[in-house]
Structure 1
Amino acid sequence: MKPTIALKQENLGLLPPNIKVPSYDRDKVRTSIVHIGVGNFHRSHEAYFTNELMERYGVMDCGICGVGLLDYDRRIYNILKDQDGLYTLMVKELDGSVSARVIGSLVEFLFAPENPIAVIEKMASPDIRIISLTITEGGYNLNEATGQFDFSNPVVVEDMKNPLSPKTVFGYLAQALKLRMQRDVSGCTIQSCDNIQGNGDVAKKALLNYVKAAEPELLPWIEKNVSFPNAMVDRITPVTVAADIQKVTDQFLVEDQWPVVCEPFIQWVIEDDFVAGRPEWEKVGAQFVKDVVPYENMKLRLLNAGHSVLGMLGALHGYDTIDEAARDADFNAFLRSFMDVEVSPTLGNLGGIDLDSYKKSLIARFQNIYMKDLISRICLESSAKIPIFLLPTIKAQLQGDGHIERAAFVVAAWCKYNDGVDEKGKSYVIKDAMSDELIRAAAQSHQNPKRFLEIEPVFGDMIKNQAFVAAFIKSLEMLRSKSVKECVVELEKKLA
């Protein structure tokens, strides 16, 4: 057996030819981006685009400094520190072939709980032009019902009391931007890379809400000197599992403690609104546009909602991965009808986009048997996802007296999902910031089906809509008496 090689800068020249390594001199890379939330998606997406710009065009002024804000981030911090910021990106094609490259664009990493002042100073540096975020849908701390910043959140309360030892992204941003203002440093761009409609607008709203209470004198400066471009991001990137780590070792002879696996498809559509300049990511495939809305509506309501559809149905049935659910003929037919009948009419004018081809490509991506995207990953934090991915379709259809039966069925399936056990009797953990309330409401829905829709932070006032409530109750009653596959088949026959 050939010896394996630990992934470090000094060992890049020793790696076998079947894995691509950075050809640029990483010592000459200058950092101009701080990224908060260095998870798998950032490493398959923004860091990948940036690496390609360095590799193919020799652009050396767009290095990334990663920041881990949470105690949970200690592991990725330690691993990337040990590996000089390097990691393997493994792309799994639909035909089963695999390619791999080492990404080198992440040239610094700071662990905020260890040294918060260092993070604030880095973000305040004149060299930093962009502060980008992948903090998940729930990380913006906005109440779904009111749309306002949640100042009752205990960590926000702490940040208000101890501004120089913040815990939240908004605490850090406020202090860093305050330093930039005080030191007469130029503004910067805050770029959300999260799956949220109008993610730049959401980031701006959340930050300004916080700053208005915490540092009100900073508001005019932010309005004048900071931009928040909206963007649509897309690349299916599952959780790294032990088999992926072993695959990198066996096929590429690389000892990588946390490689990233992704699909070949990648898309990044961005409003061109950068107050301090930006990398020319368009040279490596990103799209800069005036209006992101048509792209993000299409992606959020089809891809992300499609994931939630397959996740909820698959979880109840007892599937483990998205490709299993997507290759189930009954679930596949339900998903396609949901896309065609309920989502597509809400998308409006998409210009030159071939919507039918896009939907077909989504099905193929979901069915990629080599990705093994875990259903548990798709279902986690659904209280933050459902209001963004699924409910806008229901609301739009209700306004036009359109079909909502399938979307309401998915909401009912989510309610049943919170019972915590699949149809094979296997229990699972509800991983959600609102898990206590979700589990309690789901339990109470056995006697009072409307109880689940009373979760105001998720549903707002949708319980007042009789058509939606009726469709939800009908679906929940079906799911309480029959298997999810029986329900799906019956529903499709009725709606055909």
Structure 2
Amino acid sequence: MTIRLSAAALDRIARTAAVPAYDRAAMRAGILHFGVGNFHRAHQAVYLDDLFATGRDLDFGIVGTGVMPGDAAMIDTLAAQDFLTTVVEQEADRSVARVTGPMIGAIAPGDRAAIVARLADPAIRIVSMTITEGGYYIDPATGLFNAGHPDIVADSLSPAGPRTVFGLIAAGLRRRREAGIAPFTVMSCDNIPHNGVVARNAVAGLAALTDPGLAAWIRDTVAFPNGMVDRITPATGARERQMLAEDFGIEDGWPVFCEGFRQWVLEDHFPAGRPALETVGVQFVPDVSPYELMKIRILNGGHATIAYPAGLLDIHFVHEAMAHPLVAGFLDRLEREEIIPVVPPVPDTDLAAYFDLTKRRFANPKIGDTIRRLCLDGSNRQPKFIIPTIADRLARGQAVDGLALESALWCRYCFGTTESGAAIAPNDPNWDRLTETARRAKDDPAQWLAMDDIYGEVGRAAPFRLAFAAALRALWSEGVAATLSRYGAGGTAGP
């Protein structure tokens, strides 16, 4: 018989899983977090759970909220189990469950007045967010804040009733400024290069549309530290809920399964104070740039590299893709010959060893991470994880054959069918546009690179255009397997 997760059941749950080793009743709110999805609860919340277990900083409890429809379902589920989460850490030889409890309350996503009021509360010293790469209103071609996005325009017309994360943060900061309350620190926990800078540009950029004085105050006084976060965390489904029930006897409405590895590198810029996360493994550095670039190029770029060939070959799980010699061979050659050589040095880090660790993490059979998750939202991820590497190599006059093949595989995937002829369900916010463009590109590859908002100058560079066209034609004339086989054997993507 399973035990339903709740605070009252923790004594019984402790027989099969670790439970919070601190008095949750003694906690006080110090962090407001937007986006309480799986990654947040496998990463930031776990570090805080470890910290609170030492008896420190219990005044940095988390209040969760969000702005998306899915956030409401997540918050309702967590509220029903006293804001506790079961986190299952999985490696090939072990699975360990723990119940975490740093979240002590939540605000419904639709209750904008309550969110702004809590943002204005002096007790809130950090506002953090995991809102995905696509949630920052970035123009993919320029990398700059898109002030013309309809959501941003709508918030600028109604600053007292904002609907975006950045509109809400700006409203909270406006109220604190008016009341003479020191600003909170804004901490992005998303996989975006210079995520603190990007968050600052979004908050100040939105504020500037209605209140230039507020925008200047935000830029001058509010801290937005950059950070690098890393932990492979798949989506939760029936499979995970059943495994939790069978292996640990726990019924959790939204458990989190993840790998054992985790990493968090942060710039130490928290004027309003912060929890002592360095005591539980968070690395504080003066400049996070080398670490985040390494992770985004090698790990996230690696995910993109295996995603589309595996998706086209009807491979379901990531570890299965790593066991496929053509997919694994493509990843290995592309990383070693084109990606890693343009990643700058990282303090105390061997990039080749980091890549070897990355491959072992991808191959973890326990995680159950899906290829479809890796293929998701390419229109936002490719400009962040792949295209900058292409730009760097072009600037150096270096070959881009493997990167062009990766881009051609994304195009082929967006055509909407796998090699076996199976339909690919929509898997991008811009799926209709991508599918239409991919179908035109089958006969005219230049059509794909003409998406200037995604490729920008890279799409107009002759060496990349030629390599991309050759790769896409090879995929259509010879198939994915034959094209990967030639490339993996040391040849070019095109015939």
Q: Is the 8 A contact 1:124 1:177 kept in 2?
A: yes
User: Unaligned 5+ residue runs, structure 2?
Assistant: none
Q: Aligned match of 1:401 in 397, 401, 426?
A: 397
How far apart are 1:491 and its partner, in Å? 1.7
- Map 1:132-143 → 2, pairs under 5 A: 132-143=128-139
Cα separation, 2, equivalents of 1:231 and 1:7: 32
Cα separation, 2, equivalents of 1:456 and 1:324: 34
Cα separation, 1, equivalents of 2:209 and 2:416: 39
**Could you tell me which amino acid in structure 1 is paired with residue 293 of structure 2?**
N
Cα separation, 1, equivalents of 2:3 and 2:488: 53
Is the aligned partner of 1:246 residue 2:246?
A: no
2:295 alignment partner in structure 1: 299
2:334 alignment partner in structure 1: 338
Q: In the TM superposition, what whole-angstrom CA distance separates every residue of 1:3-42 from its partner, at most 9, and x where no partner exists?
A: 3211111211221422000121111111111110111000
1:45 alignment partner in structure 2: 43
Q: Is the 8 A contact 2:49 2:102 kept in 1?
A: yes
Greater Cα shift, 304-313 or 457-466: 457-466
Is the aligned partner of 1:108 residue 2:105?
A: yes
2:443 alignment partner in structure 1: 447
Structure 1 pair 351–154 and aligned structure 2 pair: CA distance change class (3 A): closer
1:207 alignment partner in structure 2: 203
**Could you tell me which amino acid in structure 2 is paired with residue 274 of structure 1?**
F
Is the aligned partner of 1:216 residue 2:189?
A: no
Q: Secondary structure at the match of 2:53?
A: helix
1:89 alignment partner in structure 2: 87
Q: Secondary structure at the match of 1:61?
A: helix
**Could you tell me which amino acid in structure 2 is paired with residue 105 of structure 1?**
P
2:325 alignment partner in structure 1: 329
- Map 1:449-464 → 2, pairs under 5 A: 449-464=445-460
Q: Aligned match of 2:73 in 51, 71, 75?
A: 75
Q: Is the 8 A contact 1:36 1:67 kept in 2?
A: yes
Q: In the TM superposition, what whole-angstrom CA distance separates every residue of 1:285-312 from its partner, at most 9, and x where no partner exists?
A: 1100011111111100110010111111
Cα separation, 2, equivalents of 1:220 and 1:68: 26
Q: Secondary structure at the match of 1:431?
A: coil
Q: In the TM superposition, what whole-angstrom CA distance separates every residue of 1:465-486 from its partner, at most 9, and x where no partner exists?
A: 1000001000000011122121
Cα separation, 2, equivalents of 1:155 and 1:392: 26
Is the aligned partner of 1:99 residue 2:134?
A: no
4+ aligned runs moved over 4 Å, structure 1: none
**Could you tell me which amino acid in structure 2 is paired with residue 75 of structure 1?**
A
How far apart are 1:440 and its partner, in Å? 1.3
Q: Is the 8 A contact 2:414 2:435 kept in 1?
A: yes
1:272 alignment partner in structure 2: 268
How far apart are 1:278 and its partner, in Å? 0.8
How far apart are 1:206 and its partner, in Å? 1.6
2:123 alignment partner in structure 1: 127
Cα separation, 1, equivalents of 2:247 and 2:144: 49
Is the aligned partner of 1:263 residue 2:278?
A: no
How far apart are 1:74 and its partner, in Å? 1.6
Q: In the TM superposition, what whole-angstrom CA distance separates every residue of 1:446-482 from its partner, at most 9, and x where no partner exists?
A: 2211001111111112222100000100000001112
Q: Aligned match of 2:464 in 457, 463, 468?
A: 468
Cα separation, 1, equivalents of 2:383 and 2:252: 37
Q: Is the 8 A contact 2:47 2:277 kept in 1?
A: yes
How far apart are 1:494 and its partner, in Å? 4.2
Q: Is the 8 A contact 2:141 2:383 kept in 1?
A: no
2:27 alignment partner in structure 1: 29
How far apart are 1:215 and its partner, in Å? 2.4
Cα separation, 1, equivalents of 2:344 and 2:152: 38
2:169 alignment partner in structure 1: 173
Q: Is the 8 A contact 1:225 1:275 kept in 2?
A: no
Greater Cα shift, 175-184 or 216-225: 216-225
TM-score of the superposed pair, with normalisation by structure 2: 0.97
User: Unaligned 5+ residue runs, structure 1?
Assistant: none
Q: Aligned match of 2:384 in 372, 382, 388?
A: 388
Q: Is the 8 A contact 2:326 2:488 kept in 1?
A: no
Q: Is the 8 A contact 1:156 1:168 kept in 2?
A: yes
Q: Aligned match of 2:478 in 479, 482, 491?
A: 482
TM-score of the superposed pair, with normalisation by structure 1: 0.97
**Could you tell me which amino acid in structure 2 is paired with residue 69 of structure 1?**
V
2:2 alignment partner in structure 1: 4
- Map 1:175-194 → 2, pairs under 5 A: 175-194=171-190
Is the aligned partner of 1:160 residue 2:156?
A: yes
Structure 1 pair 339–57 and aligned structure 2 pair: CA distance change class (3 A): farther
Q: Is the 8 A contact 1:269 1:286 kept in 2?
A: yes
Q: Secondary structure at the match of 2:141?
A: coil
Cα separation, 1, equivalents of 2:21 and 2:284: 27
Q: Aligned match of 1:196 in 181, 192, 198?
A: 192
**Could you tell me which amino acid in structure 1 is paired with residue 106 of structure 2?**
F
Q: Is the 8 A contact 1:24 1:58 kept in 2?
A: no
Cα separation, 1, equivalents of 2:394 and 2:144: 24
Greater Cα shift, 168-177 or 347-356: 347-356
Cα separation, 2, equivalents of 1:443 and 1:214: 42
Cα separation, 2, equivalents of 1:432 and 1:91: 29
Is the aligned partner of 1:312 residue 2:319?
A: no
Cα separation, 2, equivalents of 1:464 and 1:58: 54
Greater Cα shift, 422-431 or 402-411: 422-431
Report % sequence identity: 37
Q: Is the 8 A contact 1:37 1:133 kept in 2?
A: yes
**Could you tell me which amino acid in structure 2 is paired with residue 121 of structure 1?**
A
Q: Is the 8 A contact 1:116 1:164 kept in 2?
A: no
**Could you tell me which amino acid in structure 2 is paired with residue 66 of structure 1?**
G
Q: Is the 8 A contact 1:317 1:483 kept in 2?
A: no
Greater Cα shift, 331-340 or 258-267: 331-340
